[in-house]
Structure 1
Amino acid sequence: MTVVIGFEGSANKIGIGIIRDGEVLSNPRRTYITPPGQGFLPSDTARHHRAVILTVLKEALEQAGLKPADIDCVAYTKGPGMGAPLVTVALVARTVSQLWGKPLLGVNHCIGHIEMGRLITKANNPTVLYVSGGNTQVIAYSERRYRIFGETIDIAVGNCLDRFARVIKISNDPSPGYNIEQMAKKGSQYVELPYTVKGMDVSFSGILSYIEDAAHKMLSSGQCTSEDLCFSLQETLFSMLVEITERAMAHCGSQEVLIVGGVGCNLRLQEMMGVMCKERGAKLFATDERFCIDNGAMIAQAGWEMFRSGQVTELEDSWITQRYRTDEVEVTWRD
């Protein structure tokens, strides 16, 4: 039996999870929430993580009923993400690894999402749509790499939603995306927005600029409601994502789609993707907010796979990087 503890803190979530041979033993998490109309700055986010990380670590061990001696490996998020929060978490993971005398393992955040999704859903070899506040990628596994078939050429889909939420002052609690999703359910009028798919890639910055500019004019003149704008933005963004995912499936001859990342909990995205999959005779796999949103267990799970295939990170190599592409990692644990 191999037990791995995973530290995640690449953005505004700080999570520590423990995995034992595919079983999630514990997965506590905290979120740094800012007032409506504001985003989260790296320095403030890192300060939040520093304040709670030891409490979360204690919770993780207590919920799992384990002692440090029971842990076989300490995994942490190496990147991608925000610099200051990543450094905070890496520092604690390094310290814990040395105090407990356990090997250390730097994990790619994106691969953490994929491996957690595969574990929870039991998807075999899916085309992966990875959608979050910092990333938007369509990925498929081939020859020991997770290959990126399409991606955003500017901002991530979650970033587009979050920044729109700031424009119309939607609450960040529990998350802007969740609150947009609830408001969108009450929207009835579709407002046409720019639809920008370029081959296998998507662009969201133009849509954001357009809706930022148009929102106050349309709302003040009574042309539409905030709910209509939330509905229209979701429909447009998600249609683009379904289109490039379907194209990647056709290219790979795939019959499975796995949605991962924070935006992946959105039930409307899952519904739209489900319609496309049904038309193709394919299967859709998705997880709920416990595992879609950044969490420690996903880093532990990817770390478990890497550790079992013989990988470790030496102390002098245990740096972090804000830019770390999914296809940079050699996938030594899959055929």
Structure 2
Amino acid sequence: MVVAIGFEGSANKLGIGIVRDGEVLANPRVTYITPPGEGFQPRFTAVHHRSRILNLLKEALDISGLEPKDIDVICYTKGPGMGAPLVSVAVVARCLSLLWNKPIIGVNHCIGHIEMGRLVTGSNNPTVLYVSGGNTQVIAYSEKRYRIFGETIDIAVGNCLDRFARLLKLSNDPSPGYNIEQMAKKGKKFVHLPYVVKGMDVSFSGIISYIEPKIEKWLESGEYTKEDLCFSVQETMFAMLVETTERAMAHTGSDEVLIVGGVGCNLRLQEMMRIMAEERNAKLHATDDRYCIDNGAMIAYAGALMYKSGQTTDFDDTFCTQRFRTDDVLVTWRD
């Protein structure tokens, strides 16, 4: 039995999770929310994390009913992510490793999402669509690596949604993507936007470039409403993602698809992916915001898998890296 505590703070979510052999004992999380029209900057996000992390640690221990002596391994997000927030959380994990005399493991953020998704949904060997604020990848496992079949060549899908929300001055509470999703349900007119799929890769930056100079005119003239634009942006981007995911499934012969990452909470994306999967006699696996959105439990669980397979991180190597590729990780815990 392994009890792992995980620290996640790669972007504007700060989470601490405690997991015991696949059972989530605690998973509290707080979010740094900025005013409408503004994104979150690394420096201020790190300040937020530093100001909240000790209280969140106490909350996680209280919820789990455990004490430091009950913890077997400390896990933290090594990357990818925003530099300052990553480091602010890693410092706490390193300090606790020394104070509690526990081994420490640096976890790849993307691997955390995948393994938590597999645990929660019970999926075995799915083709994975990983969609978040900082990452967009189509992934499948092969020979001890999570192989990236396709990815964004510029900005991530979540980043595109965030930028679009800023153009519309939408609230960041609870998240820009969620507010876009709700407005899209009321959209009636479809706006043709750049649809860029290059082989297995996708590009989203052209959508923002196309909308930005026209948006004021569209809204003032009444040609399109904010709801129409939200609907059109979602449909266009999600169609691109479903297309590339289906191509990866065809290549691997997969009959399962798993959506992970914060954008994976979107019910319209899940619906479009489910239709595609059913047409292929395949099954969709998806989770809700407890585990789609960045959280500490996913880092704890992935770290526990690494620990049980014999991995730990030397203290001198407990740094962070903003560009930590999914396929850089040797997957020692899978056949």
Query: TM-score surpassing 0.5?
Result: yes
CA distance in 2: counterparts of 1:312 and 1:278, whole angstroms: 41
Q: 1:115 aligns to what?
A: 115
The alignment covers a number of residue pairs equal to: 335
The 3-state SS of whatever aligns with 1:128 is strand
What is the deviation of 1:217?
A: 1.4
**Which ranges in structure 2 are unaligned for 5 or more consecutive residues?**
none
The 3-state SS of whatever aligns with 2:257 is strand
CA distance in 2: counterparts of 1:299 and 1:65, whole angstroms: 19
| Amino acid in the other structure paired with 1:197 | V
Q: 2:174 aligns to what?
A: 174
Give yes or no for the alignment of 1:220 onto 2:246: no
What is the deviation of 1:208?
A: 1.3
The 3-state SS of whatever aligns with 1:213 is coil
Q: 2:266 aligns to what?
A: 266
TM-score for both structures, normalised by structure 2: 1.00
What is the deviation of 1:53?
A: 0.1
Q: 2:11 aligns to what?
A: 11
| Amino acid in the other structure paired with 1:54 | L
Q: Deviations over 1:269-315 (max 9, x none)?
A: 00000000010000000000000000000000100100000000111
CA distance in 1: counterparts of 2:241 and 2:216, whole angstroms: 27
Q: Deviations over 1:163-182 (max 9, x none)?
A: 00000100000000000000
CA distance in 2: counterparts of 1:16 and 1:145, whole angstroms: 26
Paired-residue identity, %: 76
Q: 2:38 aligns to what?
A: 38
Q: Deviations over 1:243-270 (max 9, x none)?
A: 0000000000000000000000000000
Q: 1:25 aligns to what?
A: 25
Q: Deviations over 1:101-124 (max 9, x none)?
A: 100000000000000000000000
What is the deviation of 1:149?
A: 0.1
Q: 1:162 aligns to what?
A: 162
Give yes or no for the alignment of 1:96 onto 2:96: yes
Structure 1 runs of 4+ off > 3 angstroms?
none
Q: Deviations over 1:31-64 (max 9, x none)?
A: 0000000000000000000000000000111100
CA distance in 1: counterparts of 2:59 and 2:299, whole angstroms: 17
**Which ranges in structure 1 are unaligned for 5 or more consecutive residues?**
none
Q: 1:134 aligns to what?
A: 134
The 3-state SS of whatever aligns with 1:202 is strand
CA distance in 2: counterparts of 1:333 and 1:214, whole angstroms: 50
Give yes or no for the alignment of 1:308 onto 2:305: no
Give yes or no for the alignment of 1:153 onto 2:164: no
| Amino acid in the other structure paired with 1:91 | V
Q: 1:256 aligns to what?
A: 256
Which range is displaced more, 184-193 or 205-214?
A: 205-214
Alignment of 1:32-111 (within 5 A): 32-111=32-111
What is the deviation of 1:223?
A: 0.3
What is the deviation of 1:191?
A: 0.7
Q: 2:281 aligns to what?
A: 281
CA distance in 2: counterparts of 1:214 and 1:153, whole angstroms: 24
CA distance in 1: counterparts of 2:248 and 2:124, whole angstroms: 16
The 3-state SS of whatever aligns with 2:16 is strand
